[in-house]
Amino acid sequence: MNSSSPLSIRPRFTPELDPAFLPASLWNREFRSLAAREGSVPMNLALERADGSVSRFDTFVLPEGSPHFELNFRYIERIVKFLLWQRGGWKVYAGGPAAIGEHLRTVYAPGGAREFDYHFMGGVYEHPFIVEITSPAKVPSEKEATMALGRHLDGCRVGFDLGASDRKASAVLNGEVVFSEEVPWDPRNQNNPHYHYDGVMDSIRRAASKLPRLDAVGGSSAGVYINNRVRVASLFRGVPKDAFDSQIAGMFLRIRDELGVPMDVVNDGEVTALAGSMSLGDNPVLGIAMGSSLAAGYADTHGNITGWLNELAFVPVDYRDAAPADEWSGDGGCGVQYFSQQGAIRIAESAGMTFTPGLGLPEKLVELQDKMKAGDPLAPKVYETIGACLGYAVAHYSDFYELKHLLILGRVTTGAGGDIMIDRAKAVLAAEFPELAARVNLALPDEKSRRVGQSIAAASLPIITK
């Protein structure tokens, strides 16, 4: 914030290679403290989804007449942004000062700063996106539903996980992993739907060849999937709309029919949470996969999943005015720019680290990990920087999730850098948020699970009916 801001934010940990990082958790904490001092008023938010389910988030804001009233716009817009990508919705109820609701309508609209989100949410839920301005008392009550997911390990199963830089696949025989592999691919730059179909089938068949038979297939992939149909997914954004509608949307149904076995495909974040819940044997679990992008999922206190999106790649964690922008949505300070291979390489290159010319992000990440092994003095600082940002982000996540276990997976966590990252995140929590540090377990799975844990959990998705 500028020098005239009434908010005084002084992080105890400055991310060394990204020193301008402004933690959302600290900004919000200072804002709420200011609002409490000035006589706060309630601001209740609710998001409605296509099935009629409703999520609520109740907070408070500065009262009308406050000389700092416009800070409310920043505070609530960023919370709505988080809620949209965490929980999803086509309708936002804004119960509080009307000027705040009007600001949301202006921002989340065609031509507004959050135009991408406006169109995305309307497309996912097949309903024009709406902000309804109302009073706090008239915001609808919460109406959530949960469901059990996976945990079926009988028989001969294949699980796959589709990322932007590789496909992971595992063969699982009665709960025992007998084969796992990663195959590089580049789906986001491919406009031919056959590329995607052939790649998925290749991974399934290679894993199935290690089993005596194939009984079921489970898969995870970035994006929104409803009843095994692809609704929206960044992996397929290079495919023209007509080809997407005719060949990609129902691709997994076609694969299921061709294989002739039960098959389920869900969002990779949900499988991340499932993998965490299965490995820990305890709940709730927020699972985060730091790979080509940032995937996340949540298992509640009963180990069930919600109907939420949990697309934490798009939620803001950095509130500085000139935060690095997400390449797809155009918004600044979103998680993908810190907790993914994009984020790791952005931080490394901004600090002067050089990579072999012509490499893509996956290959640069391998070089970063090689530099770490070779003792490059800059490499540990990259992971320390990510870890500091992560510590503050975890505190931010705790405003929106009930946290007990936070499990971190994905390619970025591979090697000693992953341990450095987690240690720094824990240090931030202990210093800035000691109560949270005492009740949240922040952990990495074993090295193999960090890379292929999602595909193994995905294998447990279908029920074998015969």
> In which element (H, E) is residue 158 found?
strand 156-162
Closest by CA to 89, choosing from 406, 307, 349, is: 307
> Do 132 and 93 meet the contact criterion of CB atoms below 8 Å apart?
yes
Long-range contacts (CB closer than 8 Å, 24 or more residues apart) made by 75-79: 75/28, 75/31, 76/43, 76/45, 76/100, 76/103, 76/104, 77/103, 77/104, 77/107, 77/114, 78/24, 78/316, 78/319, 79/45
Distance CA 222, CA 291 (A): 11
Lowest mean pLDDT among 136-150, 156-170, 275-289, 381-395: 275-289
> Do 249 and 232 meet the contact criterion of CB atoms below 8 Å apart?
no
Q: Global pTM?
A: 0.88
Which structure tokens are listed for 119?
């169109």
- Tell me: the pLDDT tens digits for 124-145? 898 999 999 999 999 999 999 8
Confidence of residue 1 (pLDDT cuts 50, 70, 90): very low
Which structure tokens are listed for 27?
């900004």
Helix (H, G, I), strand (E, B) or coil at 354: coil
Backbone angles phi, psi at 366, to 5 degrees: -60, -45
pLDDT over 90 for what percent of the chain? 78
Q: What is the pLDDT of residue 449?
A: 54
pLDDT over 70 for what percent of the chain? 97
> Do 150 and 274 meet the contact criterion of CB atoms below 8 Å apart?
yes
Confidence of residue 2 (pLDDT cuts 50, 70, 90): very low
Distance CA 59, CA 10 (A): 23
> Do 67 and 41 meet the contact criterion of CB atoms below 8 Å apart?
no
- Tell me: the pLDDT tens digits for 419-451? 999 999 999 999 999 999 999 999 887 655 554
Distance CA 447, CA 306 (A): 28
| Domains of the chain with bracketed CATH | 24-144 (no CATH), 146-466 (3.30.420.40)
DSSP of 290-327:
ESSSEEEEEE-TTS-EES----GGGSB-B--TTPPBPT
Backbone angles phi, psi at 74, to 5 degrees: -65, -50
